[in-house]
Amino acid sequence: MNLKIKNVELKSNLILAPMAGLSDVAFRNMCLKFGAGLVCTEMVSAKALSYKNKKTEDLLITLDHEVPKAVQIFGHEPEVMAEAVKNPLLAKFDIIDINMGCPAPKIVKNGDGSALLKNFDLAEQIISACVNATDKPITVKFRIGFDEKENIAVDFARMCERAGAAAITVHGRTTKQGYSGIVNYEAIKQVKQAVNIPIFANGNCETREDYENILKITGADGIMIGRASLGSPEIFEEILSGKKPDVNKFEQIKYHYETLMKFFPEKAVVLSMRTHLANYLKKEYKNTKLLIELLKMNSYSEIIEKLRQNML
C-alpha cells in the first residue's frame, strides 16, 4: 500500500527535510531523482511573505517536474500563518508544513519554531487556522520537548491531530539538544501509538540498517532525512535499495550550479554553493588544498574547470 498524506501520494516513505540555506531547488530535485518520496523547501517566514520579501519569495522557486513537494512555513500569529497558506505563491505546492521544531535561538526568541512547544493553545490555533485556510494537507514538524525535563511529544501530537494536521514529523531530540546527543526513538514510538495520522521519524538515519531499525523501533510510517543527504542526494536510493548507486559526483556538482544559475546571478550562486561544495567533496577532499582553493574562487567557470581537472 502506497503512503499518502491526505490525498497526496508519496513516491517512497523516505522524505527530505527542510534545511535552512541548503534545501534549494536543485538539491531537492536531485533527491527526488534518487527516490525521495517528498521534498520540502527550507523554512519560509509567513511574516516575510506578507511583506512580499524578494529573498523569501526566491525560496519558493521550483521546477515543473518537482513532484511531490512541500513548503515549510514558520510564524507565531495564526492570522498571518493563515494568510501565508492562501498566498498564490504557495498554490503550486502539494503540502504545507508548519515548523514547530526549529531550535535556532533567533527563531525561538521571536516565539517561532520550537518556542511553540511551550504554548499548546497558540500552536493549536495556528494549525487550525492553516487547516481552515486551504484544502491542501497541513503537516507539522516538531521536537519531543523543549528540554530534558519533560517529554511533551504525545500530548503535542494529539493536539496536532485534533487541530487537523494530516501528518506529523517528530524529531527525536529536544530543543536544548539541537542536532547533537541521543535521539529518543521510544518517544517517537509513543507518538505513533497515540495518533492515527502518518508519522515520520527524524534523527540520525544514515544507512539502510538505520532505516530498518528506526522503523522497527518506532513503528513510524516513514523517515525524514536531513544532514545525511548533504553532498549525497543518492542516499535515498542507497537506503531504499540497500545498494550503493553508481554516481558521478562531478556531474552532480555541475548540475547543482547550473540549475541555480537559471534563477540567480552567478556571484550569488557561487557564494551559496560553498557549503554544498564542501559537502560534495568531504569524503575525498576534506581539509585538502584543493577544497581550500575551490572555496576561495568566485567564478563558476574557474571552479568547474578545477573540478574537471581533479575529478575526471
Within 13 Å of residue 197, how many CA atoms lie on the same side as its CB? 22
The alpha helices in 8-86, defined as continuous H runs, are 25-33, 46-50, 54-58, 78-85
From the list 102, 130, 160, 205, the catalytic residue is 102
Contact (Cβ atoms closer than 8 angstroms) between residue 297 and residue 309: no
Which of the 8 DSSP states describes residue 118?
A: G
Q: Which three cell numbers, joined as nine digits, stand for 141? A: 514538524
Residue in 56, 61, 55 with CA at minimum distance from that of residue 25: 61
Per-residue CA distances from 170 to 43, 69, 107, 220 (Å): 16, 19, 18, 10
Which of the 8 DSSP states describes residue 184?
A: -
Contact (Cβ atoms closer than 8 angstroms) between residue 34 and residue 72: no
Q: At what angle do helices 120-133 and 78-85 cross, to 10 degrees?
A: 30
Judged by DSSP in three states, 144 sits in strand
Q: Which residues contact 209 (CB under 8 A, 6 or more apart)?
A: none
Q: Which residues contact 258 (CB under 8 A, 6 or more apart)?
A: none
- Active site annotation includes 102: yes
Tell me the catalytic residues. 102
